[in-house]
Amino acid sequence: MDWTVPKFPLDRYSDELLSWLTTNFSDVTRGTSRIVRGWIENGTALLTSAPPLLVIAVIALLAWWLAGRRVGLLSLAGFLFLWNLRLWQATMETIVLVLLATLAALTIGIPIGIICALSKRVWKLVGPLLDMMQTMPSFVYLIPAIPFFGLGSVSAVFATIIFSMPPVIRLTALGILSVPRELIEASDAFGSTPMQKLFKVQLPLALPTIMAGINQTIMLSLSMVVIASMIGAGGLGREVWRAIQRLDAGAGFQAGIAIVIVAVVLDRITQAMAHRARPS
């Protein structure tokens, strides 16, 4: 087909912007990469140096305390099975990557969600950006991470942070905006300052919705960490990628089951925490 309208050079502009950013912020990215890599290596070393049975017991007791007896027993059985499958090292690497990316995403996303709820102008600006981020194919997030941080787990963490952040921003804003108007008016009538109203009325009532956003962020972090194995990330995703390269269906199925077990345990814990956060 003969096109008469010139093509908008979006690809060239994107390459030029990425090249400018990597050139002018290389010192920052190298320093950040060293710090994050240190966190990943130290966290993985801490979990893998301890006896697996001790780590499993701690995880099970923590799950019992946070989510109840059933989730605690599920965690105990699930991680014992992962240990039996000889996937303990890969599982610990995956958990470290997911926890690090999730904590960073929540640290950035929850304040942005609060600001979006309190300012309509900010929400009008951020809302379309979130729509774009949630519809963008997950593989696309890996492309700009590589020039900044190179191949490996650091790029995987930063791509995961960006990919998993939209749900917690959106649900934090939604939770605050869903607080009944009568309660807001009552807090104003009692002379509450904006900060008192936020921390004593809006955030406590929005906590179940925020916890749902945290749950979605964790699940997206886990899925992205697995996909990021294509750029050198470790963990269970690397086991899946190796199985694909070798056409080893058994090893791939085994690693896939391990990912499902980790996802189910994390999902049940955060769902139980969200249920507890609901006001009576």
Is the confidence at residue 1, as pLDDT, over 70? no
Residue 208, CB half-sphere, CA atoms under 13 Å: how many?
10
Examine the pLDDT at 264 and tell me if it is beyond 70: yes
**Cα 52 to Cα 57, 79, 81, 236, distances in angstroms:** 9, 9, 12, 17
pLDDT at 185: 81
Average pLDDT on 32-42 reads 84
Mean pLDDT value of segment 156-183: 89
Are the C-beta atoms of residues 79 and 236 closer than 8 Å to each other?
no
Report the range out of 150-159, 164-173, 243-252 with the highest average pLDDT. Answer: 164-173
pLDDT tens digits for range 104-118 = 999 999 999 999 998
- Backbone phi and psi for residue 56, each to the nearest 5 degrees, phi listed first: -60, -40
pLDDT at 277: 65
Is the pLDDT reported for residue 44 higher than 90? no
Helices 26-49 and 10-24: crossing angle in degrees, nearest 10, is 80
Q: What's the pLDDT band for 202 if we cut at 50, 70, 90?
A: confident
pLDDT at 15: 78
Q: Which amino acid is at 98?
A: V
pLDDT number for residue 274: 76
Other Cβ atoms less than 10 A from the Cβ of 280: the count is 2
| CA distance to 97, 133, 225, 234, per residue, from 141 (Å) | 16, 9, 12, 17
Across residues 151-175, what is the average pLDDT? 88
What percent of the chain has pLDDT above 90?
A: 23
The pLDDT value recorded for residue 27 is 77
**Which 3 state secondary structure label does DSSP give 233?**
coil
Residue 79: partners with Cβ closer than 8 Å, 6 or more residues away: 55, 56, 59, 60, 91, 261, 265
Residue among 104, 52, 107 at smallest CA distance from 80: 52
**Dihedral sign for Cα atoms in the order 86, 248, 256, 140:** positive
Please answer whether residues 249 and 187 qualify as being in contact, where contact means their C-beta atoms are separated by less than 8 angstroms. Answer: no
Does an H or E element contain 35, and which?
Answer: helix 26-49
pLDDT of residue 194: 81
Q: How far is CA 13 from CA 9, 10, 135, 142, 278, in A?
A: 6, 5, 21, 18, 47
Band of pLDDT at residue 195, cut at 50, 70 and 90: confident
Kindly state the tokens that stand for 189.
Answer: 């009538």
Give pLDDT tens digits for 13-33: 777 887 887 777 777 777 888
| Token output for 208 | 């179940």
pLDDT the model gives residue 186: 84
Tell me which of 2-16, 82-96, 161-175 is least confident.
Answer: 2-16
pLDDT of 60-85, one tens digit each?
999 999 888 899 999 999 999 999 98
Tens digit of each residue's pLDDT (9 = 90 or more) over 184-193: 888 878 877 8
- Across the range 237-258, mean pLDDT stands at 86
Torsion sign across C-alpha atoms 226, 153, 97, 22: negative
Of 89-98, 224-233, 240-249, the least confident: 224-233
* Contacts of residue 265, Cβ cutoff 8 Å, sequence gap at least 6: 59, 63, 71, 74, 75, 78, 79
CATH topology of domain 20-277: MetI-like fold (1.10.3720)
